[in-house]
Structure 1
Amino acid sequence: MTNTMRAAVCVRPGGPEVLEIRELPIPEVRPGWSLVRVAGAGLNRSELRTRQGHSPDVTFPRVLGIECVGTIAASADPRLPEGTTVAAVMGEMGRAFDGGYAEYALLPDPLLMPVTTTLPWEVLAALPETYLTARGALDTLDVGPGTRLLIRGGTSSVGMAAASIAAGLGAETAATTRRPGKTAALTAAGVTHVLVDDGEPLAVDRIWPEGPDHVLDLVGADTVAGSLRLVRRGGTVCVAGSLSGWLVPDFEPIARIPSGTKLTAFHSKDARGRTEVLQRVVDDVESGTYRPNVDKVFGLDDIAAAHRYMEDNAAAGKVVVVP
């Protein structure tokens, strides 16, 4: 092993151009932390916001990346022998300490989830944050056979994963997209009804006159109030994304939440360390039950282009970077 590694460093808040490829020392293992040889990292919009300077308490320069997959290069933890395939998600990766946009990452042992798989690295890299978040959100909603689910922000990586999982659960699914050209991708992911969100009221009543049983809202701030109006009376809206931002201005719960309707949330931080859930997801992708929904793979040298692609909302599924 050489003493240095290549990493994409966010040198200051700004546009994609602030991501620079640099040679850094390979971190040294310390108690409670293991060194991971990174084989792939999924990109997430939270990293885009951190790059823009919107994440509190993040200091620069910083190696971004709230998730990665790879193999153990060195560890003092007996459950993590060298060569073990692992995934890691959240836990302040890429914020309080350097994350997955590098050839190596030093990560806290509790974050590391050993998995057994034959999937290619770029496919495995598309799963942890996306599928654990989607699975957790659908469990929060109690989506099951015969239920009606509306996914807002359907062509986001979590939306595509949720559509695939919901189809496997036997739910009837509708999903929104702002780009008609992405309809085929949603259909392939298992969506029954595709709704183009063109700024006009969504015609959900044409599909389900009483409304969906559940709404998984991945758009967030701009659509929460509308989702509460769309779901059937007594149904549940789960907010699990923030494509439009984090804050809902002037939100009045009594005025905005219909009587008997439930508003909840699922935070992806609750997905960290869920090894058994991730292994089931991996197994279901290997068997063909779930689609991995990889949209595009970039090399580490092209990290700025990958961020531009993500920022332009060009993807229908997961964007992955490989060192």
Structure 2
Amino acid sequence: MTEMMRAIVLDAPGPVEALTIRELPIPTPSEGWVLIQVKAFGLNRSELHTRLGLAEGVTFPRVLGIEATGVVVEAPGGEFTPGQQVVAVMGGMGRAYDGGYAEYTCVPATQVIAFESDLDWGTLGALPEMLQTSYGSLTVGLDAQPGQSILIRGGTSSIGMATAVLAKQRGMTVFSTTRNPRKAEALTRIGVDHVLIDDGDVQAQVRAILPEGVDTALELVGTPTLPDTLRSTRVHGVVCFTGMLSNEWTVKDFYPIEYIPRGVRLSAYGGGAADLPPAVLQGFLDAVAAGEATVPIDRVYAFDQIAEAHTAMEQGTAVGKLVVVTGL
């Protein structure tokens, strides 16, 4: 008899009610793949885009989820040992093949990173995509260096807050934006040096403090705020386009000479598990356990609260990461 699991399935793009919990067979891993018992998974804008029909290249029905945290059940190729704690992230999860919104997921071994930690699953489940994207943006997208300044546009998003934590660990001066003054305290608590209320003219606020502009900037809102972010950055400074909280990511009639300020450099980041070295993941977990770093979590949900969790993500009310724990 085939063993079954609970999974959250999207048959076609639609409202939050389109996410349905149903019984599916537990997948069987082939050589080079890993079967993981999912303990927790974080929610991401990518999954919202898929549900809303904004993502390309997704086939349905599909179990969503571009990340998962749990323990290894089976790895036929011997890459991992049963019982090992692991995270899985990106690489087509929840898009090209079924992802982490389930009690079990089967993913390529190349997308899996092992770790050891006594932190609770809710905390661990918040990390994979958030830490990978934040670390990749800082290193690959920005080549950020100690002592530099950074502007984080979309600061109260999970990636924005994680980037602020990592940047402070690097000895950077952090500017971070929020449109909601009530969320400012959350940014101050994680060590942000300058909280800016986003009124659409952030560059004026930045240059009142740093007349030449910031050294680096991370754009997480999207193309509506990108021109202002570019204007906030000094000559030879770098802006990395990583996120699109606004659901807008293209520039119409892009004319570089007019769009990009003189001497400012524009890059982009969209990576995967290979950009998160195991030592970085383990080091961050150890720092959290020691009280030297924080994981920005807004709320932890039970598996059957997926509709409520997706509604919160769509409304943009969260300050930090939304996480689902399968065993609650």
What is the TM-score when the length of structure 2 is the normalising length? 0.94
Cα pair 1:174 1:193 within 8 Å, conserved: yes
Matched residue SS, 1:295: strand
- Deviation by residue 1:75-117 (Cα, 9 ceiling, x = unmatched): 2132311101110110000001110000000111111111111
- Deviation by residue 1:271-310 (Cα, 9 ceiling, x = unmatched): 5663233222222222333211111011110101100000
Cα pair 1:215 1:237 within 8 Å, conserved: yes
Change (3 A) 1:273 1:155: closer
Matched residue SS, 1:198: coil
Cα pair 1:110 1:273 within 8 Å, conserved: no
List, as ranges, runs of 4+ consecutive aligned residues in structure 1 with deviation greater than 4 Å.
Answer: 270-273
Cα distance in 2 for partners of 1:301, 1:270 equals: 28
Cα pair 1:111 1:273 within 8 Å, conserved: no
Cα distance in 2 for partners of 1:290, 1:155 equals: 17
Displacement of 1:204? 1.4
Matching of residue 309 in structure 1 with residue 312 in structure 2: yes
Cα distance in 1 for partners of 2:269, 2:70 equals: 26
* Counterpart AA for 1:282: L
Deviates more, 1:74-83 or 1:173-182: 74-83
**Partner in structure 2 of residue 242 of structure 1:** 244
Cα distance in 2 for partners of 1:273, 1:145 equals: 19
Matching of residue 93 in structure 1 with residue 96 in structure 2: no
Cα pair 1:175 1:191 within 8 Å, conserved: yes
* Counterpart AA for 1:246: W
Matched residue SS, 2:235: coil
**Partner in structure 1 of residue 221 of structure 2:** 219
**Partner in structure 2 of residue 170 of structure 1:** 171
Change (3 A) 1:73 1:270: closer
Deviates more, 1:131-140 or 1:67-76: 131-140
Cα pair 1:130 1:158 within 8 Å, conserved: yes
Cα distance in 1 for partners of 2:81, 2:88 equals: 16
Displacement of 1:2? 7.4
* Counterpart AA for 2:264: T
Cα distance in 2 for partners of 1:113, 1:278 equals: 8
Cα pair 1:15 1:52 within 8 Å, conserved: yes
**Partner in structure 1 of residue 67 of structure 2:** 67
Cα distance in 2 for partners of 1:93, 1:312 equals: 24
* Counterpart AA for 2:38: V
Matching of residue 123 in structure 1 with residue 123 in structure 2: yes
Matching of residue 205 in structure 1 with residue 207 in structure 2: yes
Task: Provide the aligned C-alpha RMSD in A.
Answer: 1.6
Cα distance in 1 for partners of 2:73, 2:167 equals: 36
Change (3 A) 1:201 1:194: closer
* Counterpart AA for 2:85: T
Cα distance in 2 for partners of 1:186, 1:290 equals: 14
Displacement of 1:200? 4.4
Displacement of 1:259? 2.5
**Partner in structure 2 of residue 262 of structure 1:** 265
- Deviation by residue 1:113-151 (Cα, 9 ceiling, x = unmatched): 111111111111111111111111112323233211110
Matches within 5 A, 1:132-143: 132-140=132-140, 141-143=142-144
Deviates more, 1:250-259 or 1:127-136: 250-259
Cα pair 2:38 2:68 within 8 Å, conserved: yes
**Partner in structure 1 of residue 194 of structure 2:** 193
Cα distance in 2 for partners of 1:301, 1:29 equals: 26
Displacement of 1:31? 1.8
Matched residue SS, 1:41: strand
Cα pair 2:136 2:276 within 8 Å, conserved: no
Cα distance in 2 for partners of 1:121, 1:201 equals: 37
Matched residue SS, 1:38: strand
Matched residue SS, 2:309: helix
Matched residue SS, 1:80: coil
Q: How many residues align?
A: 323
Cα distance in 1 for partners of 2:263, 2:194 equals: 26
- Deviation by residue 1:213-258 (Cα, 9 ceiling, x = unmatched): 1111111211222111110122111111111222122221111222
Matches within 5 A, 1:24-173: 24-140=24-140, 141-173=142-174
Deviates more, 1:30-39 or 1:93-102: 30-39
Cα distance in 2 for partners of 1:292, 1:67 equals: 16
**Partner in structure 2 of residue 274 of structure 1:** 277
Select which of 232, 235, 238 maps to 2:234.
Answer: 232
Cα pair 1:129 1:271 within 8 Å, conserved: no
Cα pair 2:89 2:273 within 8 Å, conserved: no
Unaligned regions of 5+ residues in structure 2, if any?
A: none
